[in-house]
C-alpha cells in the first residue's frame, strides 16, 4: 500500500510540474484572434509565421501551398515598439525548433507616434537579433509592412 501511495504521489507531482511548465507559455498576446495557431499539423519541417491580423487572412492559403510542412502561426497585435513584444517572441521561439521563420511586423505600428522618429531601424535590428539569439538555426524571411493603398 505504501508503494501505491508513493507512485500516486510521484505521478501527481509530475502532472503538477508539467501543468506548471505549460503555464510558462502564457503570452500577453493570447486571446481573441491572437496567439499561437497550428495551421498545418503534419510535416517533416516546421515553418513559423509571425505576423499581425493580415496573417490571419492568408495563413490557410499558405498552408495549402506548402504541403508536407508543419505550419505554426503566431498572430499578434504588436508593432516593433510594443511593450511585451520581445517577451512573447522569446516565448514563441523557445516552444520548438523551426526550419524557417517568416515574419511581418509593422501594420499595428502605423499609427503616428507608435514608433518614435528614427527608431524603426534600431527596433527592427533588435527584433532580428532576438530571432537570431533564441533561434539561431532556421532561415529567416522578413516581409516589410503590409502596403497601405489610397483605397
Torsion of CA 81, 87, 101, 49, to 10 degrees: -80
Give the dihedral sign, CA 127/133/134/136.
Answer: positive
What backbone phi and psi angles, to 5 degrees, belong to 77? -90, 15
Length of the chain: 151
Of 101, 104, 89, nearest in space to 143 by CA: 104
Q: Provide the pLDDT for residue 69.
A: 95
Q: How confident is the model at residue 12 (pLDDT cuts 50, 70, 90)?
A: very low
Most confident of 1-5, 28-32, 53-57: 53-57
Alpha-carbon separation of residue 119 from 27, 54, 81 (angstroms):
25, 23, 9
pLDDT of residue 132: 95
pTM, whole model, 2 decimals? Answer: 0.75
Residue ranges covered by each domain of the chain: 28-143
Average pLDDT estimate for 43-67: 88
CATH top class, domain 28-143: alpha beta
Mean pLDDT rounded to a whole number for the chain:
79
Distances (CA, A) of 50 to 44, 69, 78, 88, 118: 20, 16, 10, 11, 24
* Torsion of the alpha carbons at 104, 110, 116 and 117, rounded to the nearest 10: 100
Q: Tens digits of per-residue pLDDT, 75-115?
A: 888 888 998 899 999 999 999 999 999 998 866 667 787 88
Angle at 123 (CA atoms; ends 29, 35), nearest 5 degrees: 15
Amino acid at each position: 500500500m505504501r508503494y501505491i501511495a508513493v507512485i500516486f504521489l510521484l505521478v501527481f507531482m509530475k502532472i503538477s510540474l508539467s501543468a506548471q511548465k505549460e503555464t510558462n507559455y502564457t503570452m500577453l498576446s493570447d486571446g481573441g484572434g491572437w496567439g499561437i495557431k497550428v495551421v498545418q499539423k503534419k510535416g517533416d519541417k516546421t515553418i513559423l509565421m509571425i505576423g499581425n491580423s493580415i496573417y490571419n487572412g492568408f495563413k490557410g492559403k499558405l498552408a495549402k501551398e506548402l504541403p508536407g510542412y508543419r505550419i505554426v502561426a503566431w498572430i499578434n497585435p504588436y508593432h516593433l515598439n510594443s511593450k511585451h513584444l520581445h517577451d512573447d517572441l522569446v516565448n514563441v521561439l523557445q516552444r520548438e525548433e523551426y526550419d524557417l521563420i517568416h515574419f511581418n511586423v509593422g501594420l499595428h505600428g502605423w499609427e503616428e507616434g507608435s514608433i518614435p522618429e528614427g527608431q524603426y531601424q534600431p527596433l527592427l535590428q533588435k527584433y532580428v537579433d532576438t530571432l537570431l539569439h533564441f533561434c539561431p538555426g532556421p532561415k529567416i524571411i522578413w516581409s516589410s509592412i503590409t502596403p497601405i493603398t489610397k483605397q
